[in-house]
Amino acid sequence: MSSFLGHSLTAWTIAPLPNSRSRWLWLGWLTVVALAPDCDYVIPWFHPSANEGLRITHALLSCQILPVLTILWLWWRGVRA
């Protein structure tokens, strides 16, 4: 079983320390992205028992959807690192 705590800590370790509202929002979004593959534990139609044992949310393509959308959104907004 995947760890919600472990995935959340991963998001917190890669985010800069929050000291403003935008950084707290960024940290929150990174936490959502890190926890997204584990949504199959709480959303019944993603659960492996409903999909012949497949972990759809842990598939490589599924795990890349939110990060790619985030990159595209940041690029569109003109955010540069």
Count of CB atoms situated within 10 Å of the CB of 53: 7
Tokens of 54: 């497949």
Tens of pLDDT, residues 1-22: 457 788 788 888 887 777 888 8
| pLDDT average, residue stretch 19-32 | 87
Count of CB atoms situated within 10 Å of the CB of 38: 20
| pLDDT average, residue stretch 55-61 | 72
Who has greater pLDDT, 37 or 74?
74
Please determine, for residue 57, whether its predicted confidence score (pLDDT) is greater than 80.
no
> How many domains in the chain?
1
Handedness of CA 69, 70, 73, 79 (dihedral sign): negative
Q: For 48, which DSSP code?
A: G
Helix (H, G, I), strand (E, B) or coil at 15: coil
Domain with 48, as residue range(s), is 4-77
